[in-house]
Structure 1
Amino acid sequence: MEQHQNPWRFESASVPYENPWIRVTERRGMNPSGNPGLYGIVHFKNLAIGVVAMDEEQHIWLVGQYRVPLEAWSWEICEGGGPLRGDPLESAIRELLEETGLRAGSWRPIVRMHLSNSVSDEAGIVYLAQDLEQGEAEPEETEQLIVKRVPFPEAYRMVRDFEITDSLSVAAIQKIRLMMLEGEL
C-alpha cells in the first residue's frame, strides 16, 4: 500500500455536535486492519493565531488566563483565532492589540503547525512582532487577562520548567530560542 494513501475506508459520517467554534464529526467504516472502525474528528472553524511580541531589549509579553478545559491557570504568548480563509496577519494584529494594547511595526511568521492531528484539524500560525508601541488593551468580555513583560530567558525557563505548557507558546518560544542560537535574532 502506498504510504500516502488513507488506510481507512469510511462508509458514513454524522455530526453529533456543532457550535460557532467547532464541529464534531463521527465517521464509521473499516479501520486499517479491515475491522469495523469509528473515528471522531473535531473540526475547528478558526485558525489558531499566536504572537510573540518582542521588544528591543528581548523581553516578550505573556498573557495569563484561566483555561476552562484544563481547569487551570495558563501563561501563554498572545493568542486567539482568525477566519480560516482570512488573512492571518490581520487576526494577529487584532489579537495583539486586544490582549496587550501593543502595535507592532514589524511582523514575520515563525511557526506553522497542526495542534492535535490525531483528533482535530486545528492549525495554527505564530508571528514574531517587533518595533512595538504601547497603547490600551481591549480584551473581549470573555477574557480576564493578566499581561506581563518578561525577559526572554525567563520565558524560556518557564517552558523548560513546565510553567508554560500551551502548545503554540511552547513551539514559538522554542523557535525564538533556536533563532537566537542560529543568529537570526
Structure 2
Amino acid sequence: MSEKPAWMKPHGEPWRSKSERVVYENPWIRVSEHEAVAPTGQPAQYGVVSFKNLAMAILALHDDGMVVLVGQNRFALRNYSWEIPEGGGALDVEPLESAKRELVEETGLEAADWRHVLTAQLSNSVTDERAYGFIALGLSHAPGGDHRDDTEDLAMVRVPFREALDAALAGHLQDVLTVAMLLRAYHMAREGALPGALARAMLG
C-alpha cells in the first residue's frame, strides 16, 4: 500500500469521551451514549453504534466476466436488495478467512485466487463499522454447497460485469459495498491490475 499524501495529515483536536452509557446491546451491536467534548472544545452528547463483527464483501468474478449477485429482502429499509455476497466476520478472525466462509455460505462457491482490494468505514459519523472487500477469482463449486442460516432466503444470479456496473451507476444497486467493489474492480480492469483475459471480458 502506498504512503498517504502529505495533505492527509490530521488537524485540530480529536473528539473526547468523558463518560459512556450502554443503552442497548445484542449479539451483533452495542449502542452507547457518550458525554463528549467536540474538537472545538464544546460539550456534546453522542450516540455510537458499535459492531461486534467486521463487514465482509466479496466480488466473485467468473473467468468469462460474469459476476455473482445475491438477492434478498432487507429488514431495516424493508426493501429487496441485489448485492455482491456479504456478511460478518468475527473481530478476532482474519478477514480473509471470514470472506472465504461467507462466499461458501451464500453462494456454494469457493475461489482459488483472493485479492484484498478495499478497506472502508461505513457511516463513520455514528458507527465504528469497518469493511473489507475481496475479489475472488478461479471460482468452483464448494463441496457440500451453500450453508445459509435459518433467516436467509437468498436468490443468486450471474450477470455480465458491465451490466452490474451500469445497474449500480443507474442507482438500481444501492448497497454501498456492492457499488464500491464494482467501481474498484472496473478501475483495476482499466489499469491492468487484473488478468488480461478477465479484464477484457469485464470491459467487453
> Shared topology, TM-score over 0.5?
yes
3-state SS of the aligned residue for 1:157? helix
- CA deviation string 1:99-150 (max 9, x = no partner): 1110111111011100111000100001111111124222111111000011
Determine the structure 1 residue equivalent to 2:11: 3
Conserved? CA contact 2:55–2:132, under 8 Å = yes
Partner amino acid for 1:3? Answer: H
Unaligned runs of at least 5 residues, structure 2: 1-9, 195-204
Larger % of strand: which?
A: 1
Following superposition, the deviation at residue 84 of structure 1 comes to 1.0
Aligned to 2:176: 167
Q: Residue 106 of structure 2 aligns to which amino acid in structure 1? A: E
Letter in 2 for 1:107: W
Runs of 4+ in 1 over 3 A off after TM superposition: 29-36
Q: Which residue of 2 aligns with 1:98?
A: 105
Q: Distance in 2 between matches of 1:144 and 1:176?
A: 27
* Structure 1 position 81 matched with structure 2 position 75: no
Partner residue, 1:147: 156
Provide TM-score, normalisation by structure 2.
0.85
1:16 is aligned to 23
The Cα shift of 1:5 comes to 2.8
Name the CA distance, whole Å, in 2 between partners of 1:77 and 1:106: 17
Identity of aligned residues (%): 45
Q: Paired residue for 1:177, among 186, 189, 200?
A: 186
CA distance in 2, matches of 1:176, 1:13: 40
Look up the match of 1:131: 138
Question: Structure 1: which 5+ residue stretches go unaligned?
Answer: none
> What is the CA–CA distance in structure 2 between the aligned matches of 1:182 and 1:36, rounded to whole Å?
47
* Cα distance, 1:29–1:121 mapped onto 2, change above 3 Å: closer
Aligned length: 183
Cα offset, 1:33, TM superposition: 4.2
- AA matched with 1:16: V
**What is the CA distance between 1:32 and its match in structure 2?**
3.8
Q: Give the TM-score of the pair, scaled to structure 1.
A: 0.94
Deviates most, 166-175 or 133-142: 133-142
